[in-house]
Amino acid sequence: MIERDQNVAPATVLPRNRVPNAFSRYPSALLLLVVFGVELGVSMFVIRDVRTVSVEAQQMYARSVLGLRQIGELQYQAQETRRSTLYALTTNDSNLQVEYADQSREADRRVTDGIIAYLQQAGMPNEIDFGRRLQRDWSAYLKVRDEVLASILEGSTKEAVDLDLSGGVPSFERVRQDLDEIKRLYDVQASEELARVSASSRRSIVRLVGVVCFTLIFATFSVWAIQKSRMLGAVELARLQMDFVASISHELRTPLAVIRSAAENIADGVVEGKDQLAKYGSVIRNQSRQMTDLVNQILLFVSTRERRNHYILQSLQVSEIVISAVENTAELVREAGFVVEQHVEPDLPCVMGDLPALSRCVQNLMGNAIKYGAQARWVGIRAFREKSGHHGEVRISVQDRGIGIDKADLPHIFEPFYRSSAVRAAQIHGTGLGLPLARSIAEAMGGRLTVESKLGGGSVFTLHLPSVREINHPASARTPGRDVGTTK
Amino acid sequence: MHRCLRRLMIFGLAIGWLLGVCNDTARAGGPMPEEQLQGDLAIIVNTANPVESLSLTELRKVFLGERSHWPSGRRITLVMMEPGQPERRALLRDVCQMNESDFSRHFLHGVFTGEVFVSPKTLASPVGVRKFIFNVPGAIGYVRASEVDSSVKAIRVDGHLPADREYSLHLQPRAVQ
């Protein structure tokens, strides 16, 4: 049974949001979108890490490897300086000796420039110390070298050899040691840089593996969640369809039983006289018409779902819609013993729509109001223009004072085949298609269908329809308001 | 007619002599033109050598090996160009006042008798001479005045540099005026 809470405030339910609809309709696309976004993020992350490692490797190359190469060049040129000086000792030809002296000076200029460049780029205190010591030792060697060269060119070979052995060899040895020290310094720096790059690479790999694992887990979870959602949806649909089949069977069985009973009575000769025969004929006609209406409603809903309906949109007066719906439900109202109060505001603008479809929509709402109207046996139909907010909107509301709708059921009443447990328990017959069909029609006309309900206090379903612009429909097209009055 | 021509020639020669005298007078004491500089022979030493000037007589002693050390105590190293070079011919003529064979004989004899203390180094080009002197602080040599650069130092001879008119060392002998 429906829990009847008299204190529940009226709730308003708008048509469901289109975004969740799209998500539930295209789960694979959503999954792909999510996976693509995650993969994009992962790719950017990986690219950033790879760039970091690359920059570190370039810095290592620039600092240590180029430094080592520079020191190697300095060592070579220093050796060349000394070698050219000693070559001058091997000849007595002054022209050749001058050539060798020239070569020695050219090499020593390169060494001097290299030391200056090293000092300019040196940043660490120990680098600067080593550089200055090298510069000092190199200058000392060059002084000895100049003396040796002068002695050689003067022809004093013995003096040159003595000078070289006493001063040149030890001073050049100091230069060689300085260069070795700087080289060792670069080796240490290169090792540290290499360790740093290796650590960075390892860190990147760990991050990459972590992120890929996360992505895989996330993707797997997404697939699982979507599949579960679809499965639950399919189960729910199957359940609703089973309920629908049961409801339809029940709805069909009752008129069929009446028709069969009437037919048996006629066949058995129980019915006598024209009056009784006419009465039985009327019963059979009414029941068959009820069955036809039921089947038509199902077919109409199916065609609406498959978008096979072709509505003929035209400018309509709101009173036409109300009158059509009331006339078509007059017999039902009369049989149920309901009172229908109608009020159409004067000077309502026209709306654009298909008259039979809109009439069917209002009829469904009236049918529901009668079905769930309980003992009050009252239905109110009101057509009016919204004074605030949606200015170009005309509303047709159908109100009852019946059992109302539970707050928990409100979000589902527009779902096809949905019937609340309270309604099923109360054995109120129905297909669960009336409201979905009404909403489909409203949306097809560019409008919408809303509901306000209070459990035990009745419900108000409102059809919102956009009005036609006055420029297209001058005032002459309007019709005066009609207070149709009360119908029984 | 002949007498007129002779008078005209005498007049022309007189004008030419007067123009030449005026030109020489104008140039006396001023710097020599570039062509003149090309014809001078510069005596060069190492830039570290404190000697700035030598007399022609001292220069002759140096180039004939009769002087072995500079006043600073550094040993003198003579740098000569190869025989046949105009610079060498000019030096032998103007400084040593010898020809090639006398110069060779002088050194052979001097070395043999011990009167000559140094033997000259022979280089093939002025560039070689410059580089040699640049490397040896006690070296002295000669190149054309136009080939002197900052790696060596040209010294005064009898108080004059190659740019001066009174400079006495030239590649070509000067006609006696």
Residues A47-59 pLDDT 10s: 887 788 788 777 7
> Measured between alpha carbons, how far apart are the two ends of chain B, in Å?
34
CB-based contact A154 B122, cutoff 8 Å: no
ipTM: 0.75
Q: Which residues of A touch B68 (CB under 8 A)?
A: none
Residues B78/B65, Cβ–Cβ less than 8 Å? yes
- CATH number of the domain residue A414 falls in: 3.30.565.10
Q: What percent of chain A has pLDDT over 90?
A: 31
**CA-based nearest residue to A418, from A437, A398, A399, A446:** A437
Asked whether residue A317 falls in the same domain as residue A202, the answer is no
CATH architecture of B34-157: 3-Layer(aba) Sandwich (3.40)
CA distance B50 to chain A (A): 17
Residue A76 and residue A211 in one domain: yes
Same domain, A206 and A324: no
- Tens digit of pLDDT at every position of chain A (488 positions): 333 333 333 334 344 444 555 555 666 677 778 777 877 887 787 788 778 878 877 777 777 778 888 889 999 999 999 999 999 989 989 999 999 999 999 999 999 999 999 898 888 888 899 999 999 999 999 999 999 999 999 988 899 999 999 999 999 999 999 999 988 888 888 888 788 888 888 887 887 788 778 878 877 887 888 788 888 888 888 887 787 787 778 778 878 888 999 899 888 888 888 888 888 888 898 888 878 878 887 887 777 766 666 788 888 999 999 999 999 888 888 888 999 999 999 888 889 889 988 998 999 999 899 988 878 899 999 999 876 655 678 999 999 999 899 888 888 898 877 888 888 777 777 778 889 889 988 988 889 999 999 888 899 999 999 888 643 444 433 444 444 445 54
- Judgement on whether residues A351 and A207 belong to the same structural domain of the protein: no
Q: Would you call A153 and B138 a contact, using CB atoms and an 8 Å cutoff?
A: no
Structural domain ending residue among the three candidates A217, A236, A264: A217
Q: Which of B80, B131, B152 to mutate to test the interface with A (most CBs of A within 10 A)?
A: B131
Helices A318-328, A355-371: inter-axial angle, 10-degree rounding: 50
Q: Å from A81 to nearest chain B CA? A: 14
State how far the Cα of B22 lies from the Cα of B174, in Å rounded to an integer: 19
pLDDT in tens, B164-176: 888 989 888 765 4
Residues of chain B with Cβ-Cβ distance to A153 below 8 Å are: 77, 121, 132, 135-136, 139
Query: Per-residue pLDDT averaged across B141-162, rounded?
Result: 93
Which residues span the domain enclosing A45?
A: 27-217
Q: Is residue A170 part of a domain?
A: yes
Closest Cα in chain A, distance from residue B9 (Å): 56
Chain A residues with CB within 8 Å of chain B CB: 94-95, 97-98, 101-102, 146, 149-150, 153-155
Q: Does residue A229 lie in a domain region?
A: no
- Min Cα distance A119 → chain B (Å) is 28
If one counts the domains in chain A, the total is 2
Position B1 pLDDT exceeds 70: no
Angstroms from A91 CA to nearest CA on chain B: 13
Q: Which of A99, A154, A156, A159 to mutate to test the interface with B (most CBs of B within 10 A)?
A: A154
- Which of A152, A185, A217 is at the close of a domain? A217
Q: What is the CATH classification number for the domain harbouring A60?
A: 1.20.1440.210
Whether A363 is covered by a domain: the verdict is yes
Q: B136 to chain A: which residues are within 8 Å by CB?
A: 149-150, 153-154
Pick the closest to residue A482 from A310, A320, A344 (CA basis).
Answer: A344
In the listed set A165, A194, A217, which residue is the last one of a domain according to the structure? A217
Contact by Cβ (8 Å): A468, A315 = yes
Domain residue limits, chain B: 1-30, 34-157
Q: What is the pLDDT of residues A16-37, one digit of tens each?
A: 444 555 555 666 677 778 777 8
Answer for the pair A182, A118: CB distance below 8 angstroms, yes or no. Answer: yes
